[in-house]
Amino acid sequence: MGSTNALMELRGSLKARGLDFPYWEHVQGWDTNIHVAVLSRLPIVACRPHTNDNFLLDGRRFPVSRGFAEVDIRAATNFTFTLIAAHLKSRRPVPEADESQLRLQEAKTLRGIVDEHFKADANAKLIVLGDFNNVKNSDSTKEIIGRGKFKLTDTRPAERNGDNTPNEIPRFEPRNVTWTHYYGVEDTYSRIDFILLSPAMARDWVTNETYALTIPNWGVGSDHRPIVATFKMENN
């Protein structure tokens, strides 16, 4: 996201088309151009922006470039969840350090925030999402997902195009079309945008209403495709 003014312009344009998002959060980290933002139709009842996190790499200290947005959203009187949004370091080389190592350290910082929630409440309802700028089997994405009791669930939104056959190699995911990003330099499509869920949040997840949006001329607004996850509240 750009500036706060750009976010307000986006909100206004969406409202003019019948999509009203009265609640919002805008987080500005060390990067002065690219920020993290949340728009919500549901009340945001608490905001805890992460703008000063940093890490040590090869003897130098680096900031988490874009910070992390963290908000509590009240979906119903008895249903509140925490959403953490991230935009990790891109795969574009920079002179200061190896881009993959910078992204990995940002991912470790994000996972640390997630683990603090689990220390406070093993049944925390968490959604961790955003542009992770790498694929699922990368070190940085695996770091965020974690392992063991508090491993996050990958919702893996896919196109609703009728694909329903399992992969003939059981350890691999089905061959659904799940790409979220087009990289023009390589002319490649990959999945680098994720919606991850804590175990407690995954219990409310509606798997068959989770998908990658397919619309004509999707790339006019962004080189990323929107992804959608749906949740129910019957058990709360």
Domains (range + CATH), the chain = 4-231 (3.60.10.10)
The rounded percent of the chain whose pLDDT value lies above 90 is: 86
Structure-token pair, residue 67: 């910070």
Q: Are 167 and 175 in contact (CB under 8 A)?
A: yes
Q: Residue 41's CB: how many other CB atoms inside 10 A?
A: 11
DSSP string of 65-132? TT-EEEEEEEEETTEEEEEEEEEPPPSS--SSS-HHHHHHHHHHHHHHHHHHHHHH-TT--EEEEEE-
Q: Which residues contact 225 (CB under 8 A, 6 or more apart)?
A: 179, 180, 181, 193, 212, 213, 214, 218
Structure-token pair, residue 58: 């090869």
Q: What does pTM read for this prediction?
A: 0.94
**Amino acid 166: pLDDT:** 87
The rounded percent of the chain whose pLDDT value lies above 70 is: 99
| Nearest-10 Cα torsion for 141, 147, 152, 155 | 70
CA distances from 55 to 102, 107, 176 (A): 9, 11, 37
CA distances from 47 to 25, 26, 110, 226 (A): 8, 10, 16, 24
**Amino acid 233: pLDDT:** 82
Helix (H) or strand (E) holding 9: helix 4-16
- pLDDT 10s digits, 116-138: 999 999 999 999 999 999 999 99
d(CA 144, CA 165): 29
Does 28 have pLDDT greater than 70? yes
**Amino acid 205: pLDDT:** 97
**Amino acid 235: pLDDT:** 58
Mean pLDDT check: name the lowest of 83-92, 181-190, 227-236: 227-236
Alpha helices in 124-234 (DSSP H): 139-145, 199-202
Does 196 have pLDDT greater than 80? yes
> Which residue type, as a one-letter code, is found at position 173?
E
**Amino acid 236: pLDDT:** 58
